[in-house]
Structure 1
Amino acid sequence: MFALETWRLLTTGAVGVGVDVEGPYAALMNAIRPLLPGLLTRVAVAYAAAGAVLALGAGLLARAWGRKALGWVVPHWLVLLALLAWDRAIARPALFDDLPALRPVLGFLVDHGQPWHPRVAAGLWLALHLGLLAWRAREHRRALGMAVGAAAAVGLLAAWGARPPADGEKHPLVVLIGVDAFRPDRLRALGGTREVAPHLERFVEEGATLFTRAYTPIAQTEPAWRSLLTGRWPHRTGVRYSLTAESRWQQVPTFPRHFSDAGWHTVFATDCSRFHAEGPDSGFTTRLQPPRGAVNFLLEKLRYRALGLFADHALGAAWLPEFIDNRALAGLHDPVGYADRLAARLVTEARQGPTLFAFHATAAHFPGDPVYPHYRRFVAPSEPLERRLRMHFSPVSAGSTGGWNRAGAEALYDELLAQADAQVGQLFDALKRAGRYDDALIVLFSDHGESFHADRPDLAGATPVHGARLSEEEYRVLLAVKPPRGTSAPARVDTLVRLVDVGPTLLELSGLPALPADTDGVSLAPLLRGEPLQPPPLYAETGFTHVSPEVFDAEHWPGAPRAFDTYRIRVDGVVEVDASAHDAMVREKDRGAFDGKRWLVDRPRADGSVQRTCAGDCADVSSLAAWLDAVLARAP
């Protein structure tokens, strides 16, 4: 199987080996080729180990038919493989959705399959063989009974060993959870019409303070997280869009660094690092994330789908984390198993000492493959199978139209949010079982929202976008804070707050030194105590997206390049925006301020001018305009 899949990948040119390339593609191949031998060797070992385990199981089952039934080994091996595939096709159908021959069967399983179906079939098949073995071994019943008793004893010992450890010293614990692209209007408390995120809803209802008017300074993940960590606007961090060259990052203090300097364990974890990875300068001493850069884009092409059958567990994740703990690989990545392993790591870290644990949940991003039972929740069964199982990406340009329908696109988005919510719920459940949920300080937020082009009927169903326009859909975010037990806090706060305020808040609540005085964020601790506080306005700027700004504004300056040669591949394989494209990307940005009543926005025009517009209550914008001018004066 490994040889056949490898031959198919190499001969079709899917991974670029042996293909003549030049320019950025040459750099990409140069970064990838040295990694391939070791990577493929580990994949081959995984295949060999899985094949051996299946062969052992098949051989033992074949013995039920007699000592001379070795001819039954291969059929039994195939049955075991089919049972595994049946189970995974129901749990993660994206593992097989690119195989046309299986499309009819897959469609039936997606509509009608239940996880218990293959498990009952496997149980009945195993029971048949155990019955045959018992009948054939009736003269050895005593030995058979002893074997069953020994197996039961081993099971009991394993259950005893897996019991939760006794409560020890409870060190301070801060948990920071970011749910990528979560629009707060998906919560029922903020206007949601269906139960998209039951665990997040329960978190808000059971003692967390919900900030109903929270905003991000930039609606793209990597720059938003950088502003969050530093408490500074994007132009002061140097990270102005995804994949900003690291040489442009400003080396400024981060709040995780303050926690680390105070002796805390600081951990960052994510299952996707394509457009957001944390390096040493983030302040996190432990970073659990897939490999960054060219190798990550290569892995998508290496669809060794059998890894999704037999390596989607803790051992497989330890041997091949690039595949198993990487949600960029549709179907191979098991979000449920990943969250279980992450929850165990969270509890373990919390036992070692004071801990800051941050998790970035990325289910709502490409490849956008909902798993069971989420792919049945909101998208109508009448929709095409390929739309139900995976997010489809197509750039939006002037004159383009939507390729689906808005209801279907938003339904898929809600299913993916539900999947991320389930992962967050696994972390909460683990904390509760360990007795650490109540005494932990937990912050739940989103880095940005999502736009489905509600004001553009011609784009209904087009690829959603975030960071293209300064809008409520893209820039309003989720923010909820649960203080430790014994601390009273209001259920809701309606004051305008910003993501840059999160770091100063956590440092004050944890009794640690504040970020430097020139930080743009402020502590929200007074609001959590029920005291009055009015943070400064929000500064926000657009990012760089697949959508040219002239799609929404015909007179907007559209000069930033949108092609592969916009990026360069470093020697170490990291993908970054090329220097020649940086200035154009920055020039293309809209920049604005929001004080809760009005948006004041500067838009670059095609003729080289900048147009300032106001939306909302624009009777008196002088103070907001002066504030925005002061902020822009500090921008490069």
Structure 2
Amino acid sequence: MKNVAFRQYLAASLVGLALVAVQVHQLVLRFGTEGANPRADLMQHQMAMELMDRPGFLVATLLFAMFALASHLALTTMAVWIYRRACAQAFPLRRDSFRYCMVFLAAAVLLAMFANRWLFPLSASFIDVELLMIQPLSPLLTWGVSLLVGGAFVVSIYSIFRRRRRIAFVAIVATGALALTAWSRGDGIREDPQKGLPDVIVLGVDSLRPDYIAAYGQVPAGIAPKIDQVLSEALVMEDVRTPLARTFVSYSSLLTGQNPINHGARFNLYPRSEFKRDDNLAWQLKKHGYTTMLAMDESRFANFDGSFGFDKTIVPKVGAIDFVVGGSFDLFATNLVLAAIPPTDALSTIQGNRAAYRSYRTDDHPERMIAGLRQTPSSAPLFLVSHLCLPHWPYLPGGLKKDSSLAWVNKVPGYADSPIQYLRAVAEADAQFATVIEELKRLNRLDNAILIVMSDHGEDFALERDQLEVAETGRMAGSYGHGSFALSDVQNHVVMGIQRYRGGRPQWSHRRVKGAGSVIDVAPTVADLIEMNGGQYEGISWMSAINETGDLPSRRIRYFENGLRSAGVERAHIDERAVADEMSYLYRVTTDGRFEIRPELLPQKLREKQRGAMLGSIGVMTDPVSNNAPGASGCWRMVDYARGTISCVGFPAPDPVAAELQRAVCSYYSRDAGVEAEWCTSHPAPAQPLTAYRTR
């Protein structure tokens, strides 16, 4: 009989190894081999470099590989254990049947694959199993394997309790005690919240467009109900812009109170040697006794850490391990283990990491964040910057069942072409937002607080209402993504609400504040609210508008730039292979395992940068030739937002406002090499196709 048991467990182990091998093969096919896919070529090159030069990376990679093997072996061998234990209790004669054992093993594996599809709709692991889940008789199959495996599991656990009651009782008590201890340890409830400095809470949502938020008056409430509720009590800034519509640069501008040319970070993954990190709002608040905390569920392109002034950072592990492991670690058994265990720092590369979207679960990051909040010193004021990345591409496709709960949005006038996957992502991010808000209330962190709700940038889908008429051709044109077009209205326009709480009650009456704002205004506004001196800010404080119940200045020139461009991104359906082909050569791995732009390529990429300014309803920008737009020539672009037109103009432009803005751009960016010589001399407007916008 022992020989039969050995054969059963051996077969289960071989099945587990085979399942891993099949999924690895699927990964290889998905990413390409021998340079067939540029992304794979980049990652394989970086991995080889890391393995040769950095033992720590090798150890981390091997640990993840061991985790994958252990998960699948545990699944298959545990299935045999359950089968044998359940049969010993209910069907003793079947326990040593190799055939029946293998049937049960197949049912357990199939159920695990089903569970992976339910819990991780974006997983590509054994994706074809979904065909078995959507047939007319699929419910019978699902219930059948669930009852078979679930029933056997219950019987096997019962058999343990029956024979070893004392051990089972001790295990239950110990587990409960550990859970209670973990729950109660470091509750983080602020002591005497009405005394001392207020908590400063910044809650950001990635790619959140104001025109999908009810507080901006264009769409009914319901897409993001919790955000709608919070903003319904706040001062809502109608026209706040980010100087560059990329997460890292936008938050750098918020923290420093300066535009990119002055704080130094001009792109995501900008080399750290090129900008300072020791003079921003986080560092200044630390000097005033604040505990500072950053929580983001993506760190691949937003490399914030303690060097930016944060005492605690709750982010996925930063660096090449995220690109290599986080970008490919999608195996059904490991996914199920991740779903079953609490989120941890050790597994943050693949757990609660929005960049590792195939294994992302919406509860994981808020759980890590809440655990961090409960460990903050209860006697100190808190500066929290939280950022939720769900509304970023790849958004949130539907699961097995079609969800029509947001179909009403497409019936709102002007919203017929709203992308439903983006709306789903916003709704899920709102649920995460609600979890965070409720925990902050429980911890008394909103009793005496300054609360800022914002987005880092918008998102462009070339929607009909967002398109501009090209003056030279009369055709309508639109753009995609964010950070691709320096004068994009929807990419630069951000959600921004602010409220002061005392005794848990809002102090300012809700209203919409008009006027020209910028994310660089947040730092000086916070500094004024807590009467903190010493910051060197380019932005303006909103205190006069708040105290006088007025508006922000309307005649204010705001400056904008674009990020690194990719034709693979700037389209309705992002082409990952095209993105990799265009972008992979740009980056290197640093000595501390981070990705950054190669410093030697910065002059070229800065020459290709669009630089613009906006005053009222007029915007202008330089539009240089880019490697992504072969055959085009550069020119000054002028956008008339009121008329909805974009045109190519000479220097100086015939429109007096546009000419004023051109001079402002030339002066403001004069420190950038080549700007004055190339753009700020008299010349007529050339006629050429648009490079910033794509015509439809």
**Is TM-score (shorter-chain normalized) higher than 0.5?**
yes
CA contact (8 A) 1:489 1:529 kept: no
What CA distance in whole angstroms lies between the structure 2 residues aligned with 1:374 and 1:176?
Answer: 35
- Give the aligned residue type for 2:460: S
The yes-or-no answer on 1:258 pairing with 2:295 is no
Deviation track 1:87-145 (CA, whole Å, cap 9, x = no partner) reads 4422322124x645324235569x999xxx979995897579868999x99xx99x999
CA distance in 2, matches of 1:501, 1:545: 27
Counterpart CA distance in 1 for 2:667 and 2:429 is 39
Per-residue deviation, 1:477: 0.6
Q: Which residue of 2 aligns with 1:557?
A: none
After TM superposition, give the deviation of residue 531 of structure 1 in Å: 4.6
Q: Which residue of 2 aligns with 1:468?
A: 485
- Equivalent position of 2:48 in the other structure: 29
Partner of 2:668: 631
Name the stretch that deviates more: 232-241 or 67-76: 67-76
Structure 2 counterpart of 1:383: none
Is 1:38 equivalent to 2:63 in the alignment? yes
Deviation string, structure 1 residues 211-250 (Cα, Å, up to 9, x no partner) = 1111100011221121112111111222222222222224
Aligned mates of 1:568, 1:537 — CA distance in 2: 36
Choose which of 613, 616, 627 in structure 2 pairs with 1:593: 613
The 2-side partners of 1:46 and 1:54 are apart by: 12
Q: Which shows bigger deviation, 207-216 or 273-282?
A: 273-282
Amino acid of the structure 2 residue aligned with 1:445? M
Query: Which one of 266, 269, 273 corresponds to residue 243 of structure 1?
Result: 269
TM-score normalised to structure 1 length: 0.78
What CA distance in whole angstroms lies between the structure 1 residues aligned with 2:67 and 2:569?
44
Alignment of 1:397-412 (within 5 A): 410-412=419-421
CA–CA separation in structure 2 for the residues paired with 1:488 and 1:316: 37
Partner residue of 2:636? 611
Q: In 2, distance between residues paired with 1:546 and 1:133?
A: 55
Q: Which residue of 2 aligns with 1:421?
A: 430
Query: How far, CA to CA, are the matches of 2:295 and 2:309 in structure 1?
Result: 13
1:79-98 equivalent positions in 2, closer than 5 A: 79-96=107-124
CA distance in 2 between partners of 1:118 and 1:344 (Å): 36
- Which of the pair has the greater relative contact order for Cα pairs under 8 Å at 6+ separation? 1
The residue correspondences of 1:471-510 to structure 2 (distance < 5 A) are 471-485=488-502, 486=505, 488-491=507-510, 492-510=512-530
* CA pair 609-185 structure 1, distance change in 2 beyond 3 A: closer
Task: Output the amino acid matched with 1:253.
Answer: D
> Matched residues in 1 for 2:86 and 2:447: separation?
49
Specify the alignment match of 1:525 in structure 2.
543
Structure 1 residue aligned with 2:452: 443
Q: Give distance in 2, aligned partners of 1:459 and 1:597.
A: 19
Equivalent in the alignment of 2:235 = 209
| Partner of residue 403, structure 2 | 376
Distance 2:45 2:615 in 1: 48
Q: CA–CA distance in 1 between the matches of 2:390 and 2:477?
A: 22
Give the Å deviation of 1:30: 0.9
2:359 counterpart of 1:337: no
Residue number in structure 2 paired with 1:187: 213
The 8 Å contact of residues 132 and 138 in structure 2, kept in 1 or not, is answered as no
Ranges in structure 1 where 5+ consecutive residues have no aligned partner: 381-405, 552-560
Cα pair 2:282 2:310 within 8 Å, conserved: yes
Matched, 1:65 2:90: yes
The reply on whether 1:320 has 2:320 as its aligned counterpart is no
Deviation at 1:359, TM superposition (A): 1.8
Note if contact 2:113-2:129 (Cα within 8 Å) is conserved in structure 1. no
Q: Which residue of 2 aligns with 1:402?
A: none
Equivalents in 2 of 1:342, 1:6: separation in Å?
A: 32
Partner of 1:452: 461
* Aligned equivalents of 1:624, 1:23: Cα separation in 2: 41
- 2:17 maps to 1:3: yes
Contact 2:487 2:639 in 1 (8 A): no
In 1, distance between residues paired with 2:278 and 2:176?
53
Q: CA deviation at 1:478?
A: 0.6
**TM-aligned CA deviation for residue 502 of structure 1:** 1.4
Point out where structure 2 has 5 or more consecutive residues left out of the alignment: 1-14, 408-414, 470-474, 572-580, 626-630, 643-654, 674-696
Q: Which amino acid aligns with 2:494?
A: V
Instruction: Calculate the TM-score normalised by the size of structure 2.
Output: 0.72
Distance 1:365 1:133, change over 3 A: closer
Q: Which 10-residue stretch deviates more, 282-291 or 123-132?
A: 123-132
2:381 aligned partner, one-letter code:
P
| Structure 1 CA distance for aligned equivalents of residues 641 and 497 of structure 2 | 26
- Please give the alpha-carbon distance, in whole angstroms, between the structure 2 residues aligned to 1:469 and 1:246: 23
CA separation of 1:345 and 1:313: change in aligned 2, threshold 3 A: farther
What secondary structure, in the 3-state scheme, does the structure 1 residue paired with 2:461 have? Answer: coil
Among 604, 609, 613, the residue aligned to 1:584: 604
SS at match of 1:312: helix
Q: Is the 8 A contact 1:173 1:354 kept in 2?
A: yes
2:191 counterpart letter in structure 1: E
Distance between the aligned counterparts of 1:309 and 1:22, measured in 2? Answer: 29
What is the RMSD computed on CA atoms of the aligned residues?
4.5
1:197 maps to a residue whose letter is A
Paired residue for 2:12? none
1:367-417 per-position Cα deviation (integer Å, ceiling 9, x unaligned)? 43447699724788xxxxxxxxxxxxxxxxxxxxxxxxx967722111112
Moved more, 22-31 or 296-305: 22-31
CA displacement 1:524-578 (0-9 Å, x = unmatched): 2333334546454321112222139999xxxxxxxxx934223333344422223
Is 1:169–2:178 an aligned residue pair?
no
What does residue 310 of structure 2 align with?
284
Larger deviation, residues 45-54 vs 228-237: 45-54
Distance 2:19 2:433 in 1: 35
Q: Deviations over 1:262-283 (max 9, x none)?
A: 3322121222222112134321
Post-superposition offset of 1:437: 3.6
**Which stretch shows the higher mean deviation, 225-234 or 601-610?**
601-610
Q: Distance in 2 between matches of 1:217 and 1:328?
A: 24
Q: Secondary structure at the match of 1:349?
A: coil
What is the aligned length?
A: 590
Q: 1:222 to 1:481 in 2, by over 3 A?
A: same
Aligned residue number for residue 245 of structure 2: 219
% identical equivalent positions: 20
